[in-house]
Amino acid sequence: MSIPLPLQDMTVLPHDNSAAAIPPQRVAVAWQEKEIFDRIRRQGEATKAELVNRLPYSRTKINQCIADLLEKGLVKTAGAGDYTGGRRAVTYSVNGSAALVAGVDIGATSVDLALADLAGKIYARLGEPADVRDGPRLLLGRVGELLEQMLAGGGLARQRLLSIGVGVPGPVDFKLGKLVSPPIMPGWDGFPIIATLQERFPTAHVAVDNDVNIMALGEKVGGAARHVDNLIFVKIGTGIGAGILCNGEIYRGSNGCAGDIGHICVNKEGPICRCGNIGCLEAMAAGPAIAAAAQKAALEGKSPILLRHYEANGGFLRPEDVGYSAGEGDPVSIDIIRNSGHLVGDVLASLVNFYNPGMIVIGGGVSKIGNLLLSSIRQVVLHRSLPLATRDMRIIFSQLGDEAGVTGAMALAVENLFVVQGYSE
Ligand SMILES: [Zn+2]
């Protein structure tokens, strides 16, 4: 499989296919051009009349932006030449061949990759188990191998890969693209992820972000939050974190750690958290806390159902086992899940009053526990938040599930191709 050669006048592309020392310049677009590009990309194709109807710009402005997008090779006419004498309007679509982009979602125990063209057509998708504790050199080396494999499999030249978006499970200084003291990633602190990947793919821009941020972005571009501009995506897994979308864009805060809700204190007499503080939400409601409470109940003889799962697993329990046991009617499991949901709901209720999001999406491994967790979270949020804040707000499970990260990483890669300039009228 191969895709057509990129347009020659596309400023973002290296004209010479020999390996460049630095990535080519990003494409400069006016703010309105970008909005029109995004709209066309989302719809697949659009006519000028549709764009005039749906965007707050004059026909003249739309004409000018489309002309600029055509000239930059970002958009192409679709269906031109198909006329049979009627008055069919010209439609425009994104010029997929202008760039290849890759999304890389590095989890604590897995790595997921996808390769797509600029229009969003997926060429390859790969995933395999991985251990971030193996360190960045080994893991990013493997990421490089897998990307090369995907390019070769599609008969695609590596020079056409112009952007890579990477999600990692730890706090990221987004401007530097580096992890800052990640608790579960020894050896990654300050490691130059961008430079390492660019050494292997010199034509590609690389952006690195926290995994929850890219999950939020994924849900926005391809999941349940397509029409939501203010979103909180909560990942409940080994830890708890939130990605915040504000006016459709990731809100990272001053240093990149906005949304780190797992370390909000929910009980001053609670257990010690891995961060060193006491009674953090994460220490009391995330996957390990759920599994530990269930294991304790099983071994103390309080739940024969949990004990059965414990023994069937060979001496351990996972959060989903607690979900299965709750489904079988085990009151202890139901209590454990409700307790976790209520703690998460308490924190979210405060966030709802503070931020007034249009939607809260719950994702991460622990969300596989099922509806009891979701209903417990909902119950507290609706009870504890201001009625006006919850009137139109939905709290749902992630629609993309395990695909949220890689989808968001690809969206990050696309965004990172552009330099968006201010208003021009
Ligand atoms: Zn903590």
278 and 381 both lie in a single domain: yes
252 and 321 both lie in a single domain: yes
Mean pLDDT across 289-305:
97
Residue 43 lies in a domain: no
Q: pLDDT at position 345, please?
A: 97
> CA-CA distance, 186 to 133, in Å (whole number)?
6
Q: Which of 24-33, 269-278, 291-300 has the highest mean pLDDT?
A: 291-300
Cα separation values, 9 from 5, 15, 27, 208, 389, Å: 12, 9, 12, 29, 49
For Cα atoms 343, 347, 348, give the angle at the middle one, nearest 5 degrees. 110
Q: How far is the CA of 272 from the centre of ligand 1 (A)?
A: 8
207 and 252 both lie in a single domain: no
Mean pLDDT across 244-249:
94
User: From the centroid of its chain, how far is CA 233?
Assistant: 9
2 CB neighbour count, 10 Å cutoff: 10
Q: Are strands 100-106 and 359-363 parallel, antiparallel or unpaired?
A: unpaired
> CA-CA distance, 163 to 118, in Å (whole number)?
10
Structural domains of the chain, count: 2
Q: How far is the CA of 261 from the centre of ligand 1 (A)?
A: 9
Instruction: Check if the beta carbon of residue 115 is closer than 8 Å to that of residue 154.
Output: yes
Name, in order, each residue with C-beta under 8 angstroms of 346's C-beta and a sequence gap of 6 or more.
Answer: 266, 380, 384
Residue 73 lies in a domain: no
Q: How far is the CA of 284 from the centre of ligand 1 (A)?
A: 10
The model's pTM: 0.88
Of the CA atoms within 13 Å of residue 73, those in its CB half-sphere come to 15
Q: What is the DSSP string of 267-312?
A: -TTSPBPTTS-BSBHHHHHSHHHHHHHHHHHHHTTS-HHHHHHHHH
Lowest mean pLDDT among 102-106, 135-139, 267-271, 364-368: 364-368
Q: pLDDT at position 425, please?
A: 47
255 and 311 both lie in a single domain: yes
Q: How far is the CA of 232 from the centre of ligand 1 (A)?
A: 20
Q: How far is the CA of 183 from the centre of ligand 1 (A)?
A: 10
Range of the domain at 363: 225-399
Residue 295 lies in a domain: yes
Q: pLDDT at position 9, please?
A: 32
Percent of the chain with pLDDT over 70: 92
Of the CA atoms within 13 Å of residue 374, those in its CB half-sphere come to 15
Residue 169 lies in a domain: yes
Q: pLDDT at position 275, please?
A: 87
Mean pLDDT across 147-165:
95
Residue 78 lies in a domain: no
Q: How far is the CA of 283 from the centre of ligand 1 (A)?
A: 7
Q: What is the CATH number of the domain that holds 283?
A: 3.30.420.40
pLDDT, tens digit, 9 for 90 and up, residues 53-98 = 999 999 999 999 999 999 999 999 986 544 555 667 899 999 999 9
**Is residue 315 predicted with pLDDT exceeding 90?**
yes
Mean pLDDT across 23-32:
85
**Is residue 10 predicted with pLDDT exceeding 70?**
no
For Cα atoms 177, 183, 189, give the angle at the middle one, nearest 5 degrees. 35
Residue 425 lies in a domain: no
Q: How far is the CA of 303 from the centre of ligand 1 (A)?
A: 29
Instruction: Check if the beta carbon of residue 180 is closer than 8 Å to that of residue 226.
Output: no
> CA-CA distance, 7 to 358, in Å (whole number)?
40
Q: How far is the CA of 266 from the centre of ligand 1 (A)?
A: 10
Lowest mean pLDDT among 20-34, 90-104, 312-326: 20-34
Sign for the pseudo-dihedral over CA of 157, 160, 162, 163: negative
395 and 409 both lie in a single domain: no
Residue 269 lies in a domain: yes
Q: pLDDT at position 87, please?
A: 64
Q: How far is the CA of 296 from the centre of ligand 1 (A)?
A: 22
Q: How far is the CA of 263 from the centre of ligand 1 (A)?
A: 4
Q: How far is the CA of 265 from the centre of ligand 1 (A)?
A: 8
232 and 335 both lie in a single domain: yes
> CA-CA distance, 124 to 164, in Å (whole number)?
14
**Is residue 6 predicted with pLDDT exceeding 60?**
no
